[in-house]
Structure 1
Amino acid sequence: MSVWKRLWGPAIASVALILLDPKSAWAEPAVPVPPNGLLSDKAQGTLSAADRDFVTKVRLAGLWEIPAGEMAQEKSDDPRIKQIGKTISGQHVALDELTRTAAKKLKIDLPDKPNADQQKWLGEMRDAEGEEFDQIYIDRLRAAHGKIFPAIASIRAGTRNDTVRRLAQQANQFVMTHMTLLESSTIVDFQALPTVPAPNATSATPVAAAARPAQPAPVSNMPLVLATLGGGIAAGALLTRQLLKGSRRRGYRPRYYHE
């Protein structure tokens, strides 16, 4: 029976997603889907403080986004917002199951309530109605997903623990789906999002530096090089003149092919 319970949440979330966007049932031909089954999940590898913090943050995300989605279904007057809230809430139930399973393997203690900021956001939603609620719900969730997105990328690229690596990859797929759904509401305030830092042109990565072709060393003694070159040209001219004089003394007459 527990197996069916574990599968029920993801199944409902998948059906809701298809109802939101029927085209999502078929993957885009040119876009690969990460083969999560190729990743091991044996809790092997060093577990860092950043790894522990990441697992905790994924758990916290579900603790406030699940009730936020439930409020969206109750308080919004927009059918689209209601469906977005239902889908995201249902998918977070599935992600929370994955997170708790990973935390158990890694012996990480997880929180059981949202943090202070998340509780404040939920309070804002409880106090709002109609379109005001819709804007708060969409903007708060979109901003939160934007913050966790780079954190997931950092852990996925750098963790040494296979269970954390797999959870990061799974969480990334949830986050990308949720960002897309939230943006489909057409009321995301993109101008309020944090500005992306400008690239630092002076800092080159080791890989980029190694990929550059070796440059020739600059010539530090240009006068000496010019003098050597001039001497070679003069010697060549003198040798040519001597050869011509010798040819004339022997009565040499060039032959041409038209003769």
Structure 2
Amino acid sequence: MFWWRRVWGPLFAVAALVLLDSSKALAFAEPGVPVPPGELITDTGEGQLTDADKDLVVKVRLAGLWEIPAGEMAQQKSKNPKIQEIGKNIAAQHVALDKLDRAAAKKLGIKLPNQPNKDQQGWLGEMREAEGEEFDQIYIDRLRAAHGKIFPAIATIRASTRNDTVRKLAQQANQFVATHMTLLESSDIVDFAALPTAPAPSAATSASAAAPAGGTALNSVAENQTLGTNKNVILGVLGAAVAAGAFLTWRTMSSRRRPRRYRY
């Protein structure tokens, strides 16, 4: 009748282990590399909205307008299975990013374009006219160069915007763009020599980077405290679950050993 009491303890222990393992999976994309907890960013549309903020929302939309058809062409025109898969993944991910971008634009009252710009239309034209390996090279190089340009722009807005909806979109876009650059580079045909080089740091930038070691130290302390707090919370939950399981198991076993009293 009370058979289910016998499994309370093991169930609590298993649940605790699953919780700990899931927390690790959510916290890290790969060993030692944390995933930004985007769910901690509010999305209310509150905060000053600058022209630079609006420009980013428009650029994210424009990126999808040409990279989605470019990815579809990669699946149809390329003879290389790796390029086909890269095109498929990037196109699908831009569909998801475009949905996020349009939702943000609607919330903020930003008007979005419905066609690629002149440069993007030219790149799509190049791809339509190319075949075989020539197509592959154009597809990979055009997309890698475009992602390299928007990547620092996203970082600037993520670091400076006062608007929480733009901040969230910038963080999401940053993760998409980093993923796309990695996918494109996995083709092994990116012409890195053709990419623009970063400008040399100015004297003021070099001096400020070298001088305030305390700022770096404070950032490290804050990061370690955050990671330490998260770890302590997880371990606390795990410990409580294991203790509860052990207690319930002990109660169940004790009740089974206790002699029954009969009344006459």
Which TM-score applies when normalising by structure 2? 0.68
Please show how residues 196-211 of structure 1 align to structure 2 within 5 Å: 196-203=198-205
The alpha-carbon deviation at position 196 of structure 1 amounts to 1.0
Instruction: String of CA shifts for 1:55-88, please: whole Å, max 9, x gaps.
Output: 0000000000000000000000000000000000
Aligned equivalent of 1:152, options 141, 151, 154: 154
* Residue in 2 that maps onto 1:108: 110
The equivalences for 1:118-129 within 5 A come to 118-129=120-131
Question: In structure 2, what residue type is equivalent to 1:28?
Answer: E
Question: Which residue pairs with 1:141 in the alignment?
Answer: 143
- d(CA) in 2 for partners of 1:144, 1:210: 34
- CA 196–210 in structure 1, closer or farther in 2 if over 3 Å, else same: closer
Which one-letter code corresponds to 2:152 in the other structure? P
Task: Give secondary structure in 2 for the equivalent of 1:27.
Answer: strand
Q: Which residue identity lines up with residue 94 of structure 1 in the other structure?
A: A
CA distance in 2, matches of 1:78, 1:211: 49
**Runs of 4 or more consecutive aligned structure 1 residues displaced over 2 Å after TM superposition:** 201-212
Q: Max radius of gyration: which structure? A: 1
Distance apart, 1:211 and its partner CA: 5.8
Deviations 1:35-61 (A, max 9, x none): 000000000000000000000000000
Give the partner amino acid of 1:122: L
2:67 and 2:87 map into 1 onto residues whose CA distance is 9
How far the C-alpha of 1:120 sits from its partner, in A, is 0.1
CA deviation digits over 1:2-52, x for unaligned, max 9? Answer: xxxxxxxxxxxxxxxxxxxxxxxx821200000000000000000000000
Give the superposed CA RMSD. Answer: 1.6
Separation in structure 1 between the aligned mates of residue 98 and residue 79 of structure 2, nearest angstrom: 28
**1:88 aligned residue:** 90
* Number of corresponding residues: 187
- The alpha-carbon deviation at position 201 of structure 1 amounts to 2.4
Paired amino acid for 2:77: K
Whole-Å separation in 1 of the counterparts to 2:34 and 2:186:
22
Find the aligned partners of 2:70 and 2:155 in 1 and give their Cα distance. 25
Instruction: In structure 1, list runs of 5 or more residues that go unmatched.
Output: 1-25, 213-259
Distance 1:203 1:58 in 2: 29
Percent identical pairs in the alignment equals 73
1:46 is matched with 48
Match of 2:191 in 1: 189
Instruction: Return 5+ residue gaps in structure 2 as ranges.
Output: 1-27, 215-264
Amino acid at match of 2:70: A
Residues 202 and 84 (structure 1), Cα distance of their counterparts in 2 relative to 1, 3 Å cut: same
Spell out, residue by residue over 1:187-215, the C-alpha distance to the aligned partner (whole angstroms, 9 max, x if none). 00000000111111244676866668xxx
Counterparts of 2:42 and 2:151 in 1: how far apart (Å)? Answer: 22
Give the distance between the partners of 2:200 and 2:58, measured in 1 at CA: 30
Higher relative contact order (CA 8 A, sep 6+): 2
Please state if 1:33 is matched with 2:5: no
| Distance of aligned partners of 1:182 and 1:101 in 2 relative to their CA distance in 1, 3 Å threshold | same
